Amino acid sequence: MSKFFLFAIVFILLFSVAANAVVIDSPSAILIEQSTGRVLFSRNERERRFPANLSKMLTALVVVEHLELDGVVTVGQEIRGMPSGFATNVHFEGETITVRTLLYSLLVRSSNESGRVLALNVARQMQGRRNIPYDEAEHAFSVLMNEKANSLGVRGSHFVNPFGWQSENNFTTAYDLALITRAFMENEILAEIAGTLTFETSSLGEIYHAEPNEREYSWTNTNQLLPGAVHGYPYMTGAKAGFTNSAGHVLAGAATNGELTLVTVVLGGTDAARWQDTRRLMDYGFFNFAFREIAIANELVETVQIENPRLGDDETLGIILSEGHTALLSHTEFTSLTRSITFDPLLYVENENGDSILRAPIADGEAVGSVSYISNGTVVFETSLLAVRAVEERTFDSDMDYYIAAFFSNIFSRRAIPYYFGIFGTAFGVFGIVMAIKENRRVGRAIGWTYEKHRKSRYSRYK
């Protein structure tokens, strides 16, 4: 065996392993598809972890539901007293700034103070109080955060502040953060902000304010996987990066390649691992999965025999799919896809050969059964089977109608012309034979009277 041949075998084996498996270093991670939410890969995805800055995605989701983006707020004392190591010193007291700019600060610059300003103003809006203390406002805002999370299906998390400060009561899981990231990226405004690599503006932007107190900003996104960044990934569209000593280096990412959009969350790893693992997860998803059309609405699935159709009708019936379906499948799942048909037991019979036969009557478009598309024992899609036309049942009355209709339809048809000639020819022949026989008898009688015995006078018999 040549060295080249051995090398080729090893290369194919390594390529196959790489294509169908992914190896990561982060202790907790998940990969899902955006539109379906299907989990494509997971590791300790429900293990409790600290969210760090990733909780800011949930903060932003709450803010856009309660505040106007072009609304102007004034930064106050809420930016004071930040926990040790969490001060970003982005804002100053008395600064006038729009909610939109605060969201850029929160998500691009990852400012913790921006989270506090936003939380306070949401609480003021909800309670109608301008003088609400920040601690009270933070508690009220965290209630909104948990309510929002719960509405997204989050069940293993609890949030107590808007910027990810470390707390035993502030925890989450990779699975829950994937649900939050999915909702976050579905919001066009937040997705645009999260996908912005660099942002330069004044605190008010183009918004007019009677007493402006502005600051100029220039920020670079902390998500280094955005295209053009240090670890740029070409398909990355946004999400959020973060770090605390207890949480480690964390990253939520979203990437789109063609029709496929993937969401990843990696938690608890090193700085290098979060970028590398996210790339590996994305590559694995894009290489192995795709949306595939497995069923087309109104597609002919099968042609079946009919047991007792009306005389003259077609003895077969086409059945079609009531609806189509496109499924997210791996290459292996697609190649192993099978189809199983089940007919309505009230319509279904089997002939002596074991073939499927449907019993009339059947209405046009009637559901005659169902079809399931199955991959590796899992039903991927199921839909009804419909009759393409009506099938009438054979009865005595239908037979009589058939024969009568056949008679009248045939007697005046062009196909009957040869029969007309045959009938007329036969009748003419019979008529000719009858006439010939009569003529022959007449002639015979005329000849008979010419003999002597027949010419005696009528009186001679009395002699």
Question: In terms of domains, do 80 and 148 share one?
Answer: yes
Which residue in 203, 192, 197 sits closest to 117, CA to CA? 203
**Does the pLDDT at position 218 exceed 90?**
yes
**Does the pLDDT at position 435 exceed 90?**
no
Structural domain contains residue 15:
no
219 or 208: whose pLDDT is higher? 219
CA distance 166 to 55: 11
Which residue in 264, 329, 290 sits closest to 24, CA to CA? 264
**Does the pLDDT at position 93 exceed 60?**
yes
pLDDT in tens, 286-332: 999 999 999 999 999 999 988 888 887 888 999 999 999 999 999 99
Structural domain contains residue 16:
no
Of 257, 288, 319, which one is at a domain's C-terminal end?
288
Of 392, 411, 441, which one is at a domain's C-terminal end?
392
Structural domain contains residue 48:
yes
Are the beta carbons of 78 and 95 closer than 8 angstroms? no
Are the beta carbons of 300 and 317 closer than 8 angstroms? no
pLDDT, the chain, mean: 88
CA separation, residue 113 to residues 33, 78, 85, 218 (Å): 33, 8, 12, 16
450 or 109: whose pLDDT is higher? 109
The DSSP element (H or E) to which 306 belongs, if any, is: strand 300-306
Alpha helices in 30-133 (DSSP H): 55-66, 99-104, 112-127
For the chain, percent of residues with pLDDT exceeding 90: 68
- SS3 label, residue 74: strand
* Per-residue pLDDT, 313: 81
11 or 398: whose pLDDT is higher? 398
**Does the pLDDT at position 449 exceed 70?**
no
Question: In terms of domains, do 197 and 115 share one?
Answer: yes
CA distance 306 to 349: 9
Question: In terms of domains, do 376 and 264 share one?
Answer: no
Q: Which residues contact 101 (CB under 8 A, 6 or more apart)?
A: 201, 203, 204, 205, 217
Q: Per the structure block, which two tokens stand in for 421? A: 């000639």
Structural domain contains residue 461:
no
Which residue in 105, 107, 75, 108 sits closest to 92, CA to CA? 75
Burial of 422 (C-beta count, 10 Å sphere; 0-12/13-18/19+): exposed
Question: In terms of domains, do 64 and 153 share one?
Answer: yes
**Does the pLDDT at position 10 exceed 90?**
no
For the chain, percent of residues with pLDDT exceeding 70: 86
Secondary structure (DSSP) of 316-380: EEEEEESS-EEEEEEHHHHHT-EEEEEE-TTTEEE-TT--EEEPSPB-TT-EEEEEEEEETTEEE
Q: pLDDT band for position 418 (50/70/90)?
A: low
Q: Which amino acid does the sequence have at 202? A: S
Structural domain contains residue 12:
no
**Does the pLDDT at position 176 exceed 50?**
yes
CA distance 178 to 262: 10
CA distance 130 to 136: 12
For residues 79-106, give the mean pLDDT.
93
**Does the pLDDT at position 115 exceed 80?**
yes
Question: In terms of domains, do 284 and 308 share one?
Answer: no
Q: What is the CATH number of the domain that holds 380?
A: 2.60.410.10
* Per-residue pLDDT, 57: 98
Q: Which amino acid does the sequence have at 395? A: T
Question: In terms of domains, do 138 and 283 share one?
Answer: yes
Question: In terms of domains, do 343 and 271 share one?
Answer: no
Question: In terms of domains, do 279 and 370 share one?
Answer: no
* Per-residue pLDDT, 195: 98
* Per-residue pLDDT, 154: 97
The DSSP element (H or E) to which 261 belongs, if any, is: strand 260-269
For residues 353-375, give the mean pLDDT.
89
* Per-residue pLDDT, 15: 44
- SS3 label, residue 436: helix
111 or 355: whose pLDDT is higher? 111
For residues 260-284, give the mean pLDDT.
97
pLDDT in tens, 123-136: 999 999 889 999 99
Of 365, 392, 419, which one is at a domain's C-terminal end?
392
For residues 110-137, give the mean pLDDT.
95
Domain that holds residue 77: 24-288
Q: How far is CA 444 from the centre of its chain?
A: 99
Q: Per the structure block, which two tokens stand in for 325? A: 């379906």
pLDDT in tens, 11-66: 444 444 444 578 999 999 999 999 999 999 999 999 999 999 999 999 999 999 99
Are the beta carbons of 238 and 191 closer than 8 angstroms? yes
Question: In terms of domains, do 258 and 348 share one?
Answer: no
For residues 148-177, give the mean pLDDT.
96
Q: Which amino acid does the sequence have at 143? A: V
Q: What is the CATH number of the domain that holds 267?
A: 3.40.710.10
The DSSP element (H or E) to which 147 belongs, if any, is: helix 134-151
Question: In terms of domains, do 300 and 282 share one?
Answer: no
* Per-residue pLDDT, 12: 42
How many residues can be counted in the chain? Answer: 463
**Does the pLDDT at position 206 exceed 90?**
no
Q: Which residues contact 181 (CB under 8 A, 6 or more apart)?
A: 54, 57, 239, 240, 252, 253, 254, 263, 265
CA distance 390 to 314: 11
The DSSP element (H or E) to which 249 belongs, if any, is: strand 248-257
Are the beta carbons of 134 and 254 closer than 8 angstroms? no
Question: In terms of domains, do 283 and 338 share one?
Answer: no
pTM of the model: 0.80
Structural domain contains residue 458:
no
* Per-residue pLDDT, 19: 46
Structural domain contains residue 78:
yes
Structural domain contains residue 300:
yes
Q: pLDDT band for position 175 (50/70/90)?
A: very high
For residues 388-415, give the mean pLDDT.
74
Question: In terms of domains, do 167 and 303 share one?
Answer: no
Secondary structure (DSSP) of 164-223: ----TT-BB-HHHHHHHHHHHHHSHHHHHHHT-SEEEEESSTT---SS----EEEEE-S-
Split into its structural domains, the chain has a count of 2
